[in-house]
Structures are given as structure tokens and as C-alpha cells.
Chains A and B, each alone.
Chain A
Amino acid sequence: MAMRSVPSMRRRLVALLLPWPLLAAAHGDAPLQRDDVAWLCRDGFGLDSALVAGYRQLGRNRLLDAQLTDRVPGRLPPAVAALIAGYPALRTPPDQLLAQWNQAQERIKAMPEGDAKVAARNDLQKQGNQLAQQAQQAELLQAVYGPNQLKEQMVWFWLNHFSVYAPKGRLRWEVADYEEHAIRPHALGRFRDLVMATLKSPAMLEYLDNAQNAKGHVNENYARELMELHTLGVDAGYTQQDVQQLALILTGAGIAPVDGRVERFNPKMAPLVVRDGLFEFNPNRHDFGDKVLLGQAIKGSGFDEVRQAVDLIVRQPACARFISRKLAGYFVADQPPPALVERMARTFQRSDGDIAKVLRTMFTSKELLAAGAPKFKDPTQFVVSAMRLAYDGRPVANALPLVNWLNLLGEPPYGRITPDGWPLDGASWSSSGQMETRFEVARAIGYGSAQLFTPEGAAQPSPGFPLLTTRLYYDAVEPYLSAATRAGLAQARSQQEWNALLLSSPDFGYR
């Protein structure tokens, strides 16, 4: 991407500071109703002009249709698409990334002791950190600018549900692929396909150690979390025996060699090998004994056992309830209404786990907006919605500040150590320390972050600041501000301070 010169940057800022043309009057659009705004704030990460325009044009039901079938008009701003496409973590095929990692490891191993070896090791670590950071930036850029905001929320939701931790082992080389190829394609599809895609992804195979799970060296880690955290929930009635049986079923599901080595299988085993990208089911490592899972016999046969097991698990009523409750906990309320969860679970079961259908049940429910207390935004929702309101589609040249803010706020993508994902309830994100940090981030955004518009490595231009008093603000935000927030904003002594106060306000902090 070409570097933007300082003068053109100034022109942009000047343009931004000009009064918004009175388009509202020309269209004759009335301000959005409170109910519309509330719905949009759940449907998207936060308001921007494009989302509001889509809503005005299509109406609630057709916008939802377009989102659920992933046919929302518009695409990423070209500058943002180019930024993402330029990241080596996204640009390099996953098998090449791991092959490069492997070559670097081999090279380091062969080096004599000394400073050169230490430097080579450090370089490899640095490369890993950069790749992980690129994956984080790509994920956040799509969350801010993606035209299908419901899908973007679901991508984050599933990344968190099937959480992986980048600093472990070589996951930094794998997380971009995880988002792009395991999660994103299935975010609105069938839950079963999503489970299978994560099951076969290098990131999950290594994060929860199934890559090491082999006959005679059984590792139960993934088997346990697959049922406890990914599908059924901890109190679903399965037993330790089921975990052990599922672990045996999963023996041999791992990652194909990335060093060019050719694996040999005897004629009996060769037809049982399954390859799919970097995924490999290696029958030499599989326990072919017969199993019993959740009361059902599963005959020892190879990878087909895994398919049968996943089918069996995702069709349990407990799975429908567990996933529905978690979805409603994210979108509706910390304690979602049981009747809504029940209806969503019925849709889940009737549709054989069609995620879009379950979302439709939720987004057309009266409970979505009537559930009482609004949801306090988690740090990701806060940063993404602040960027959307403040910059309203204007492309940034560098997304590192977003990653840094989420590090400060304690919710970076791929940064949850434990496999349970970040908590989704408000209480987990509203301690006094977190509130103060959130105000500091609001201040950083409101006062303008020069780094956002400085391509990585370029000299820092003079900082500008966003102007939040746009038509979008008067249309959808201003009419519904609380008296206390209005009183606070009225005391601002500069546009920057006003911005920081608006983004810090409870009106903006909840959705």
C-alpha cells in the first residue's frame, strides 16, 4: 500500500471537519426510532453510516435475510482489503508457513553454538510474533469494516467459543489460517461443519494436543474440551468413560508432515489415510478397538468413527441448548430468558444445527430487545464500535493500535490462555481497573491516534482527531442520550474531550 503524504492527510482531515451536508433533509429520513437503534446495536458491532443506510434501504427483515445468507451488498474498503492482503500471515498458504517454520528449526538445530544461533532463534520468535499480530489485525479490521456485521460478530463469537491461544508452540504460524479457513467459512453454516473444521485445523489440533493423541499414548485434552466447552457443556451428563472413549476415537487425528517426508503405510492401512490440507488422519496411530460413546456403539473403523462421534454429539439436545444459551448470552442478556433459549434450541434441533436459522429465531424474537438490562460491551465490542462510530468507514493504514488497546483491556484475539474463551458477561469486564483503562482507551481514540494513519515503519504525521458529531450521531445516537451523559458532554472544553467523553459514557458502553 502506498504511503500517504502528510499534505493529503491534512486534506482528508479538513474534509472530515467540514459540516456534514444536510443529506438527511434531502432524503427526508426521520431519525431512527429507539427500537431500531437498539436492534442495530445488537445486529452489528456498532453503528456506522453504512449499517444505518442498509437498514433504511432494506428494512429489518431483508437486512437480516441478506446477512444470514451472506449476501450483504458492499465489501471491505479497498485500502483495508489491500492492507489485509499484504500481511504474510494471510498471503502465505498455511502449509508453506509451517514448512518455513520447519526449515528454520532445522537450520537452527544444525548451527554451532554461539551468537549466530541465538540470533537465528530470536528471529524465528520475532517472525512468529509478527504473524500472530497480523492475524489479530486482520481479524479486527474485518470486524470494524466488514459489511456483514452479523457475520463478523459470529466470526468473533466462534473464534472465542473454539478458543485457541497463539503463544503456545507454533500456533502463531497457524491462527490466521484458523480464522480464515476453519471459522469464517462456517460462521453462519452448520454447527456440525464448524466442529469438524475446528477438529481438523492445525491450530486446534496443537492447542488441545490432539496432534499427540495416539494409540498407546492417549491424550484426553481435546476429547474432554470438545464435549465440555465446544458442544455439550460441563453438566450434560457424559462421563469420564465417555471422555476416554472419545479420546480413543480421536487417536491418529493430527497434522501431516511439513518437512517433505513421505510417510509409508502398508496396503491395509493406506486406504484409511485421510488428508485435507494440513490435516491428516494417520491410521498407524489410531486405536481400532470398538468404542461406546454416550451409550452408542461405534465400531472401530478409522476416521469414520470421528464423523460418527461428532454427529452423535452435535445431535444431543444438550448441545442445542448449550450453544443456544451461549449465543443468547452474547447477543441478548447475561442471563437470557429461558423461553427464548428453549425456542432457539428447538430451531437448532429441527434444522440439524443450522446456525443461521437459530440466529433468525433470536433476531426476530421480542426478547432480543425486551430482555431488560442492556448488555455491557466486552472490550472487543467496545473498541470495534468506537472505531466504527469515530471513523465511520474511513480506512486506517495501521491496525496495531487496535491490538494494543485490546491488550490493555485484556481481551486480545487469540490471547485467552485457557480453552474456555473470554467471558461474555458484563461483570467480567467492568471492574474498577477495567473501567479506568476503558476511559483511557476512549481518550486515545477520541483525541486521535496518529499511529492509526501511519503505515507501519513510516514517520508519524501530526495527529488529527475524529469528529463524532456527524449526521450518524444526530440520527441515531444523540436523540437517545441520557440526561447525565448530555450534562457531561456539555462540560467538554474541546472537540477531543467531547469525543473521549461520548466514547466513555454509559450510553456508549452498553448496547
Chain B
Amino acid sequence: MNRRQFLRNAALAAAALPTLSFSSRLFAAPAGSPRLLFVFLRGGYDCNNLLVPYASGFYYEARPTLAIARPDPNDANSAIALDAHWGLNPALRDSIHPLWQKKQVAFVPFAGTDDLSRSHFETQDNIERGQPGQAGDYRSGFLARLSTVLTGVPAIAFTNNLPLSFQGSPRDVPNISLKGDPKARFDERQSAILAGMYRGTPLADAASDGLALRRSVSMDLQNLEEEMVRASRGAPSASSFATETRRIAALMRDRYRLGFVDVGGWDTHVNQGGAVGQLSSNLRNLGDGLAAYADALGEAWNDTVVVVVSEFGRTFRENGDRGTDHGHGTVHWVLGGRINGGRVAGEQVAVAQPSLLQDRDYPVLNNYRDVYAGLFGRLWGLGRDQLQTVFPQARPRDLQLA
């Protein structure tokens, strides 16, 4: 079935089943079903200074100014030992490390795609499409396909525009950015007038659902906003990821089960910094946001999984500008209240010069399509055919994360 045919069928299905309208799904997320948030770090974050291969002498040779020191109880800027090989960036001491100790975080190093372009846009695109190689449909994302094989899993993107991951779904996937003030621009009377003008047109549902979502989000978040304003003695920090994730948690707790959000600012070619500096500040902001999400979900954190990805890793050696350039394999994170965490998962190789890809960056030993197919299979009990719809030609690898 080509995409047009698919859309036509979807339109027919939608016409036959008016209950697909989003407004009727507003209160429909079933209790106890798993909740997945997908966090995309756009720009290619430097995984080698997140998950520090502190047992590797080569790491310290390759990064004379950027390396994070070997674990040392007397040095707050040294890596936090996770096991005999890997350490955590100390910027995550108060956010992610406590989750690690509770076995609520796992890291998958040597993860990524088989796209070797090392181009941001090609690789982001490749990941979001989730299709093998260059083949496939430019406008079909893997989260959109995932949401078609699931039922009772309301999806939403917390972005200004619908990300490619969610494009091509026959069902309307709403999107709304929660970075800024979530206040609605139209009051109830104006929303009713607008919806009235569209009544009886093919866009009636989209118009009223869009207005309803904005207004309900605005109302849902009203208490939270007031609380955050009180707590911050002014406006909640606009640049803080935690502000955004607390809002996201308020929506994911009851209404949605599949979400997407992205975070930028990871393309550290110049003056990346070590234990302190640009990258570590970004990681701290990210870690605080993820910990705030877990905290804000409360009990619901136990049914929740968060996946953190980025398009690629960076060069293993630092460059002449105290930064790093585009690389290949990276470290993906999996978090959640009941995940099988507290470990570094997936296939690994000793971190040394001969194991670098093209003497430059991490190889990919854990293709994300295979790993997520395994994860989704466990989370929702998806069968082979369903997983093939989500990730065509993937060979699901069950890392027993969930």
C-alpha cells in the first residue's frame, strides 16, 4: 500500500469512526499501561564525556584538555564510577546518579544507526524515519508507525512542529510546545466561534481539537505554573529543561502514553569543556530535567520508560579547538521506575585506538532499530509483524531493559 492509499484508507476509517477524534480521547489513557517518552538530543552530544571510559588510557591520551578525571573520592570533578570500566559525568551527581543507584537508568554505548554521513540532518532524519538505509518513505516516522500498531496509547509531541518521528500517521498526532508560557490565546467564547465556523467541514475535528488541546493544557498546567512561579519567586526558568519536563509530566501522567521532546545545543566543536563547561552544563540541565520528570510523575514513574538518543557520537580525540567533531556511535539512555537498570547494556568493545571506526569515533555495535524493536516488544508485547511495521527489516535485540 503506498502512502496515498494509506491516507485515503485512514481518512475513510476516520470518517467511519468519529470517535477517533482527539477530543474524545482526551481522558482516554488507560491506567497501568506503559508510558514512553522519547528525548532527542539534537546536535550530536559527546557521549565520551557522559559515560567516561575511565579504564582506558587511550581516552586520557586522546583528550588532553577535555578528559574527565578517573574516579577519586577526594575530587568532586572526577568521574563517578559506575563499574570497573565506566564512570558518569559528575554534573549528573544529584540527578542521574541517584536513579542509577536505584537501578532506574541503563546506558547503551556503541549505539546508533548505520548512516555514516556524519551529517546532522541526514542522520537525525535517518533515525526518525527508522527505515533501513536510504530506502522508504521520506514522510513516515517510526513513532507514527508505532502508534498505529498500538491501541489505547495516545501520542503527543511536545514540539512546535510535528517531528518526522511522528509524521505519516493516519491518526492525528497532536503537537504542542511546552518550552514557553502554555497559556491559551483564545478564550472559551472565541474558541466556540472558531469551532463553529468549521462545523460540518472536513477540518471540524482538527480545529476544535487543536483549540481544546491548548485550552486543556493551559488549564491542566495552571496549578503547576502557579506552583513553579511561587517556587522560583518569579517566572519559571525558560531555559530550564526541568520546567518543561514538569509540564510534560503533568500531561503524560493521565492523558498520554507516547511522547516526544527534543533538546538542542549539543554540537560542541569548540571549547566543549571537561567536568565543567559547555557540555557539562547542558548535561546538568538535561539530568535535572529527567530527574524532575521522574519526581513529578510520582507513582506513575513505575510505568514509565524514557529513552534518550542523539544522532551520533563525536570524534574520540579532541580537535584543535578544544572541542569534538561529528562522529558515529553514541550512548543511548534508558530510564524508568521499573526498568532493569543500573548497568551498561548491549554489545561492547574495549575502548582503545584499534576499536575506533576509521580511527575516528565509536563503532555502532547496537543498531538502535534492533534495540528499540526489542524494547518495544517487551513493553507492549508486540509481535514480529508489528515490530516489522515499526522498523522494517530490523532484527529485534532484547537487551532485557524493561
Contacts and interface: CB of A to CB of B under 8 A. Distances in A.
Nearest to B213: A432
Interface string B303-318: 0000000000000000
B244 interface: no
Given A431-B162, A433-B162, A418 B125 contact: yes
B242 to A, nearest CB: 24
Contacts of B160: 407-408, 410, 437
Contact of B199 (A168, A484, A497): A484
B203 to A, nearest CB: 6
A423 B164 CA distance: 13
A488 B197 contact: yes
Contacts of A504: 194, 197
A236 to B, nearest CB: 15
A464 to B, nearest CB: 20
A170 interface: no
Interface stretch (A113-121, A271-279, A343-351): A113-121
Nearest to B173: A431
Given A118-B270, A484-B196, A439 B210 contact: yes
B210 A432 contact: yes
Interface in A428-454: 428, 430-437, 439-440, 443
B172 A431 contact: yes
Given A408-B160, A506-B203, A432 B172 contact: yes
B203 A497 contact: no
Given A487-B196, A504-B194, A443 B185 contact: yes
Contacts of B190: 497
Contact of B176 (A118, A433, A505): A433
A407 B119 CA distance: 22
A505 B121 contact: no
Contacts of A432: 22, 172, 174, 205-207, 209-210, 213
B198 A431 contact: no
A436 B197 contact: no
User: Which of A117, A436, A439 is most buried by chain B, counting CB atoms within 10 A of its CB?
Assistant: A436
B360 interface: no
Interface string B167-194: 0000011111000000001100110011
Nearest to A224: B134
B97 to A, nearest CB: 31
B79 interface: no
A156 interface: no
A223 interface: no
Contacts of A484: 196-200
A165 B124 CA distance: 14
Nearest to A500: B190
A145 to B, nearest CB: 27
A420 interface: yes
Given A427-B7, A433-B213, A439-B211, A506 B201 contact: yes
B7 A436 contact: no
A410 B194 CA distance: 22
B214 interface: yes
B321 interface: yes
Given A432-B172, A485-B197, A410 B161 contact: yes
Interface string B209-227: 1110110000000000000
A58 B170 CA distance: 45
Contacts of B121: 165, 167-168, 417-418
A430 B194 contact: no
Contacts of A434: 162, 206, 210
A252 to B, nearest CB: 22
B179 to A, nearest CB: 13
A253 B336 CA distance: 52
Contacts of B189: 491
B247 to A, nearest CB: 16
A393 B190 CA distance: 29
User: Which of B119, B162, B193 is most buried by chain A, counting CB atoms within 10 A of its CB?
Assistant: B193
A409 to B, nearest CB: 8
Interface string B300-334: 00000000000000000000111000000000000
A488 B270 contact: no
B271 interface: yes
A243 to B, nearest CB: 11
B285 to A, nearest CB: 20
Contacts of A121: 270
Contacts of A118: 270-271
A44 to B, nearest CB: 23
B268 to A, nearest CB: 12
B206 A431 contact: yes
A234 to B, nearest CB: 10
B27 interface: no
B138 interface: yes
B324 to A, nearest CB: 15
Contact of B206 (A113, A435, A485, A505): A435
A380 B270 CA distance: 36
Contacts of B201: 506
A333 interface: no
Contacts of A437: 160, 210
Contact of B174 (A167, A431, A505): A431
Contacts of B198: 484, 506
Contacts of A509: 203
B193 A433 contact: no
B93 interface: no
Nearest to A438: B210
Nearest to B129: A418
Interface string A478-509: 00001011011001100001000100111001
A501 B185 contact: no
A430 B203 contact: yes
B139 interface: yes
Nearest to A491: B193
B175 A417 contact: no
A431 B271 contact: no
A427 to B, nearest CB: 6
A502 to B, nearest CB: 10
Contact of B175 (A167, A433, A482, A487): A433
Contact of A505 (B119, B124, B197): B197
A158 B137 CA distance: 22
Interface string A202-232: 0000000000000000000000000000000
Contacts of B119: 168
Nearest to A481: B197
Contacts of B196: 484, 487-488
Contacts of B270: 117-118, 121
A296 B161 CA distance: 45
A487 B400 CA distance: 59
A433 B201 CA distance: 17
A485 B194 CA distance: 9
Contacts of B320: 113
A418 B128 CA distance: 12
B125 A436 contact: no
B321 A113 contact: yes
B257 to A, nearest CB: 18
A117 B212 CA distance: 49
Nearest to A421: B138
Contacts of A418: 121, 125, 138
Nearest to A439: B194
The 7 closest A-B pairs by CB, nearest first: A436-B210, A432-B210, A410-B161, A433-B175, A432-B209, A488-B197, A435-B210
17 contacts: A113-B321, A167-B121, A168-B119, A408-B160, A417-B125, A420-B138, A427-B11, A430-B203, A431-B162, A432-B205, A432-B207, A433-B162, A439-B185, A439-B207, A443-B186, A484-B196, A488-B194
Given A417-B121, A443-B186, A488-B196, 5 more contacts: A430-B206, A433-B213, A434-B210, A440-B185, A506-B201
Interface of A: 113, 117-118, 121, 165, 167-168, 335, 376, 407-408, 410, 417-418, 420, 423, 427-428, 430-437, 439-440, 443, 482, 484-485, 487-488, 491-492, 497, 501, 504-506, 509
